[in-house]
Each structure stands twice: as structure tokens, then as C-alpha cells.
Amino acid sequence: MRIGFIGLGIMGRPMALNIKKAGHHLVVPERASLTSEFRAAAEVVADAAAVARGAEVIVLMVPDTPDVETALFGAGGVAEGLSAGKLVIDMSSIDPIATKDFAARIEKRGCQYLDAPVSGGEVGARQASLTIMVGGPAAAFARAKPLFEVMGKNITHVGEMNGAGQTCKVANQIIVALNIEAVAEALLFAARAGADPARVRDALMGGFASSRVLEVHGQRMLDHAFTPGFRVRLHQKDLNLALTAARQLGLALPNTAIAQQMFSAVVAQGGADRDHAALLEALEALAAHKIGKTP
């Protein structure tokens, strides 16, 4: 297929390259930041509208709700280049309510729309092992599934309603944030009590406390290696979506609110663009104690 891809950041770059490796024709908009690798791999066109004109399926992978709206409906945006029968897939993590509006506006043009946010970070994007949570019509999902299979492994059609995928992703981000906080607290407790936090992590990996967060981010914490796979400010954005929706639903999410405050403390220390595992540093500041290696 001819696949348009908009948003070649930390996640988008490897996702787009996996699409190319699977044999699809890749179309991307011109950007000064395009590497020679991408210029060789893809057809480079003027803007998002030209991407939509030149592709059967248009994938978006951008940071936030306003970015998706601009990419779709701004000057030179995707909507300007659409013709009936095309498929738009938003793989960003954004507001579920705005997603419903975007889908309705695209569908009025005779096109299909899926929201398909992902989990798995940069590693999952590079390894084509992302978890993909999809909302939208079953026919559109069936059409897109072969494309999802070159980017991920755990692919779930959450529901036929647009926004279902985004709702699932918000739930995912609640769980990930609370796991990061739990791992950080546990390793900090172990270190402050005089145990070797690395050995504590090894022991916990064999028990019921084992998790992907303990495996990957636990090691990041021990090494104080916070080069971003997923940035603190983006996780803050996702938790803001959760807390805003919770207020609208009359729902209390007390631990989500605490995790958001801990991320805010990291941001206050200049860590907005560090990996979200850097939540550890907010707890270290409270305890006046560091674990593992000195940053």
C-alpha cells in the first residue's frame, strides 16, 4: 500500500521504517529535520495535504491533541488532500472526546477513521512489538490490521466507537504511572534501608511483583539513565486527560493525582524531557537519598 506517515519523532521514526521494511511505499511531508535515511526510504512531499493526496492510508503519530487537529485540519493539513475511500489512522495519544469530533469530520469526507494509540515506548517501536489499542468501525480495523501487524504484536480492537482506543490508552497510562511510582518507592526504600537495590530488583523479578516496568525502568533507575524513551511531559499530558475525564465522570482517581504531582516535581527540577522513569528523582529529593549510580 501507499502509506502516508506524519510525525517522525522518537516513536514515529522506527514505526515508519518498519512500514517501509514490510514493503509498503512510504510518503512523508518535507521537514528540515528529515534524515538522509528517511529521504532515501520515503517519497518526500510538500505538506500533509500532499501526503493525503499521495497515499491510501494516512498515519499520524504526533505529541498531543492540538498537534493532531493542526495536522488534520490546519492549513495544508490532511483534510485538504483527502478523497473518498481513504483511511486516516491516528496513533497519537490524545483526548478521547476530541477524537470523536475528528473522526466525524473525516468521515463526512467519505473516509474512514481509526484511533490506534500505542504502548511499548521506543524499544517497542523499534522492535515492532508495540501494543496497539484500536477504536473505530470493524471494517476499517480489518483494513488496517495488516499494517498494524508490521508495527506491533498485541493488537486489540477495543470497540467500534471512535475514542475507544484512546480511552484504553488513558487507562494504560494510569497503570504505567502507578507502576513507575511503585517501583521507584520500592527501590528507594531498599536502598535507604541498606539493601542493594540491584539485588532487590533481581529478587523481585522472580516473584509476583515482577513487571515490565520493574524490568526496564527499574534498571533505568539503578543506572540513573533517563534518556527519553517516553518523556515526562508526555506522560503528564496523558494523566491530565485521565484526571479531566475523571472529573467529568464524577470519579476519584487519588493515586493518579499523586503520580501527576510527582511528575510535576520532576518538571520543576528541569526534567520535563527526561524519561518518565525519572519520577524516581522526585522521590530521591524527598528522601535526600539516591540509589544506584550518581547521575
Report, as residue numbers or ranges, the catalytic residues. Answer: 169
Kind of pairing between the strands at 130-135 and 152-159: parallel
Residue 269 near residue 224, CB atoms below 8 Å? no
DSSP helix/strand/coil, 78? helix
Residues 6+ apart with CB under 8 A from 111: 82, 83, 84, 85, 86, 87, 88
Cell of 211: 513487571
Residue 17 near residue 5, CB atoms below 8 Å? no
Q: Beta partners for 152?
A: 130
Residue 63 near residue 8, CB atoms below 8 Å? no
- HEC profile of 27-61: EEECCCCCCHHHHHHCEEECCHHHHHHHCCEEEEC
Handedness of CA 87, 157, 150, 152 (dihedral sign): positive
Please report which helix (H) or strand (E) contains residue 158, including its range.
strand 152-159
Q: Beta partners for 43?
A: 27
State the Cα–Cα distance between residues 256 and 252, nearest whole angstrom.
9
State the Cα–Cα distance between residues 95 and 166, nearest whole angstrom.
7
Cell of 253: 482517581
